[in-house]
Amino acid sequence: MSTSTQPSPVSSPPSPSASPSPPAPAAAASQSSFVAQLCFGAIAEDLIVPYPKMKAGDQETFKQIRSSIEQLLKSKEKNLREWDAKGEFPPEFIEELRQFGLFSLVIPEAHGGMQLSTTAYSRTLQELAKYDGSVAVTIGAHSSIGMRGLLLFGTDEQKQRYLPKLVTGEMIAAFCLTEPSSGSDAASILSTAVRDGDDWVLNGDKLWITNGGIAQFFTVFAKTGQQGERSNVTAFIVTRDMTGVTTGPHEDKMGLRASSTTTVTFDNVRVPAANVLGEVGKGFKVAMKILNSGRTGLGGGAVGAMKRCIELCTKQAKERVQFGKPIAEFGLIKQKIGHMVVDCYATESAVNMVNHLIDNGAEEYAVEAAITKVFGSEALWRCADEALQIAGGNGFMKDFPYEKIVRDARINRIYEGTNEILRLFISLTAMNEVGSELKELSNSLKGIFDNPIKGFGVISEYARRRASLATSVVKREKSQFTRLHPAVQSQQMVFQELTRDLATAVDRVLRKHGKAIIGKQFASRRLADMMIDLFTLACTLSRVSTAVAEKGAASVTKELEILEVFTGQVKRRVRSNLSKIDENDDELIKSIADHALDAEAYSWDNVT
């Protein structure tokens, strides 16, 4: 292992600069989320316009962090490849991460941490991911999910006891939810904790735990109710020094190979009652809050990796000469790079916006955070794949960084909620308020003949809204942007039109399926994809509009071009999903899948 220069640990954040930051969009804590309002055809522009900026104090702190990260990692490119091949970081490197203060990013200043805002923290993970995915996930698993529950739900006594060790990295944290028999279905965990006097006796096995082999602090979830009570889960703080805590060997993974991933076993571990995190029986809520809070960190990491891909492949395209000229001059190469830039800009726009919503006190952001994870992880996968393609044969060789980026990127669509599960979460959660209104309408109709005036009022209000979705003649409340720059008017008009399409689609699907929508995954996915595209487009619209207002259209021509391209992509995708709500091949696809499942094979061959 090569030794670095004397470390320059990141210091605690300086006092905020006296110069005020530009006004940012408000995020009222009690307001419905942006996407939930879109499902009604309403555009809550006060949540996203103008586009937020990182605060001056955060920028100053981040610049120090970025300098330290560069000092630590820039010279270690060869080491990082070697550690990836070997499948683990050496203890000396983990110690360097401690010395550079990278385990203290989100811990409050009162406990010796940097207390980064969500925006600055996400930007830090982005910077780490530009150098190495395994480093980013090691820091992210500690701060985003491993100890996040302590920050969100811990008692003062728990924080006083553990944060001083977590801030230095003396204790590294891990999040223990997944089990051999429960992945996406977190409520089906089999680990148990039984009260015995002043302790809980914990038993169970956890699988694929990031930081498992190097952690001393575990946030663990176990059943505390009777057998069969799926939702009765409790969160516990468990430390490695408790008798009965063991970890398995390092997992041999496809990507993120140097990060520690192991099983964690709890065999009659006596956990003091004082180590319950949150309320007994409310562990599922704790887990979901932790995961929702941590997803923008994953989005930040995706942005960092995309920026690295763009840096690598543009240099490669300019240097690689074929048919007498650099391949950068060929249209199909430019097409790839152009789409990579559009994907990166759109992802970054959404990630920054959700970070701001969280920093500004919004309570309803889970759907939007899930969107950044889904869109960002899939955009990164496209970007990494195209970067490797541009590199050609070199991209397939381990001497170059492309194949490692592709391997590292693949897990992003799986962990912290698979993209399939998150799509169902996005659509069903965002549609909940619309479904509630339909239910209220149904309840009101029960007494329509007893109270016809009341019944007429309910029906006429809903009829007015439905009519407004079907025609532009009826004015809809908050159906238009009013604060965007005229330079983005054409894209604004498209967004408003697509918002009406989404609201119409939600109404149609809920009326068609009712409560059965829970099992209609094809329909839910289409609605989720529409929501994902529209939220990301809204963030991009806001960002470009704000840039034009501040710098002038002549100074942001490329950003306007990005917006125009992305708007066209979103329009085509939304319209395609809308067209398939009623006319599709869903049943045929399921029939073909059932045939393959029955046979457990592909059934055709040209050899009889």
* Residue 570 lies inside a defined structural domain of this protein: yes
Task: Single out the residue of 551, 553, 550 nearest to residue 488, CA to CA.
Answer: 553
Per-residue pLDDT of 445-474, as tens digits, reads: 444 334 434 334 444 454 555 555 554 444
Both 407 and 542 in one domain: the answer is no
28: pLDDT strictly greater than 50? no
Q: Which long-range contacts (CB under 8 A, 24 or more apart) does 192-197 make?
A: 192/222, 192/223, 192/224, 193/222, 193/223, 193/224, 193/234, 193/236, 193/271, 194/224, 195/224, 195/273, 196/270
The label of the residue with tokens 């809520």 reads: 285
Contacts of 136 (CB under 8 A, 6+ apart): 125, 128, 129, 301, 304
Please report which confidence band the pLDDT of residue 243 belongs to, taking 50, 70 and 90 as the band edges: very high
Structural domain includes residue 333: yes
| Number of helical (H) and strand (E) elements in the chain, helices listed first | 19, 10
**CB-facing half-sphere around the CA of 506: CA atoms within 13 A:** 33
- Given 45, 179, 416, 559, which residue is catalytic? 416
- Count: domains in the chain: 2
Find out whether 413 and 375 touch, Cβ atoms under 8 Å: no
Q: What percent of the chain has pLDDT over 70?
A: 88
Kind and range of the H or E run holding 547: helix 521-551
Mean pLDDT, residues 561-567 taken together: 98
Tell me, yes or no, whether 472 and 376 share the same domain. Answer: no
The predicted model gives 79-83 an average pLDDT of: 97
| Residue 325 belongs to a domain | yes
Identity (one letter) of the amino acid at 274? A
Has residue 5 got a pLDDT over 60?
Answer: no
- Residue 91, pLDDT > 90, answer yes
Q: Are residues 373 and 436 in the same domain?
A: no
Shared domain for 144 and 222, answered yes or no, is yes
**Can you give the pLDDT at residue 278?**
97
State the Cα–Cα distance between residues 571 and 276, nearest whole angstrom. 48
Which of 182-191, 406-415, 534-543 has the weakest average pLDDT?
A: 182-191
Does pLDDT of 72 surpass 80?
yes
From 34-48, 175-189, 343-357, 544-558, the region with the lowest mean pLDDT:
175-189
pTM: 0.90
pLDDT, position 456? 40
Examine the domain organization and report whether 149 and 216 are in the same domain.
Answer: yes
pLDDT of residue 295: 85
Provide the pLDDT for residue 2: 39
Residue 1 has pLDDT above 50, yes or no: no
C-alpha distances out from residue 275 to 128, 156, 246, 451, Å? 32, 12, 19, 55
Q: What pLDDT, on a 0 to 100 scale, did the predictor assign at position 463?
A: 52
Query: Which amino acid is present at 162?
Result: Y
Residue 21 has pLDDT above 80, yes or no: no
Residue bearing the bigger pLDDT, 30 or 391: 391
**What pLDDT is recorded for position 459?**
40
Whether residue 501 sits in one domain with residue 366 = no
Q: Which residues of 63-73 are buried (b: 16+ CB within 10 A; e: fewer)?
A: ebbbebbeebb
Whether 67 maps to a domain, the answer reads: yes
Q: What is the mean pLDDT of residues 123-146?
A: 97
Domain boundary, last residue among 380, 411, 442: 411
Query: Could you tell me how far CA 211 lies from the centroid of its own chain?
Result: 19
**pLDDT (mean) for 212-236:** 88
Given this model, what pLDDT does residue 231 score?
Answer: 64
Query: Do 396 and 490 belong to one domain?
Result: no
The reply to whether 313 and 368 lie within a common domain is yes
pLDDT of residue 470: 54
Cα 371 from Cα 190, distance rounded (Å): 30
> What residue spans of 320-451 are helical by DSSP H?
331-359, 366-391, 402-410, 419-430, 432-445
Looking at the structure, tell me whether residues 248 and 390 fall in a common domain.
yes
Q: Is residue 38 part of a domain?
A: no
Q: What pLDDT, on a 0 to 100 scale, did the predictor assign at position 218?
A: 98
Q: Would 41 be classed as within a structural domain?
A: no
pLDDT digits (tens, 9 = 90+) for 261-291: 999 999 999 999 999 999 999 999 999 999 9
149-173 average pLDDT score: 98
Residues found in the chain:
608
Given this model, what pLDDT does residue 50 score? 97
pLDDT score recorded for residue 464: 52
Specify which residues 176 forms β-bridges with: 220
CA distance 43 to 48: 10
407, 436: one domain: no
Separation in Å, CA 22 to CA 19, 25, 271, 464, 552: 10, 10, 49, 38, 16
Q: Residue 460 belongs to what domain range? A: 432-594
What CATH number corresponds to the domain at position 118?
1.20.140.10
Q: Can you tell me the mean pLDDT for 133-160?
A: 98
Q: What pLDDT is attached to residue 227?
A: 63
Same domain, 443 and 473: yes
**Confidence grade of residue 437 (pLDDT, cut at 50, 70, 90):** confident
Q: Is residue 29 domain-resident?
A: no
How confident is the model at residue 10, as a pLDDT? 55
In this structure, the answer to whether residues 281 and 319 fall within a common structural domain is yes
Query: Is the separation of the CB atoms in 467 and 507 below 8 Å?
Result: no
20 — pLDDT class (breaks 50, 70, 90) = very low
pLDDT digits (tens, 9 = 90+) for 309-350: 999 999 999 999 999 999 999 999 999 999 999 999 999 999
Question: Quick check: 237 and 150 in contact, CB under 8 A?
Answer: yes
Does position 153 have pLDDT exceeding 50, yes or no? yes
Mean pLDDT of the chain: 90
Q: How would DSSP label each residue in 252-291?
A: --SSSTTS-EEEEEEEEEEEEGGGEESSTTBHHHHHHHHH
Query: Can you state the percent helix, strand and coil of the chain, rounding each to 5?
Result: 60, 10, 30
The 10s digit of each residue's pLDDT in 502-552 is 999 999 999 888 888 989 999 999 999 999 999 999 999 999 999 999 999
Whether residue 157 lies in the annotated active site? no
Residue 261 counted as domain residue: yes
Condensed to tens digits (0 to 9), the pLDDT of residues 374-401 reads: 999 999 999 999 999 999 999 999 999 9
**Across 182-189, average pLDDT:** 78
Residue 43: band (very low, low, confident or very high) from pLDDT cuts 50, 70, 90 = very high
pLDDT band at 31 (very low <50, low <70, confident <90, very high): confident
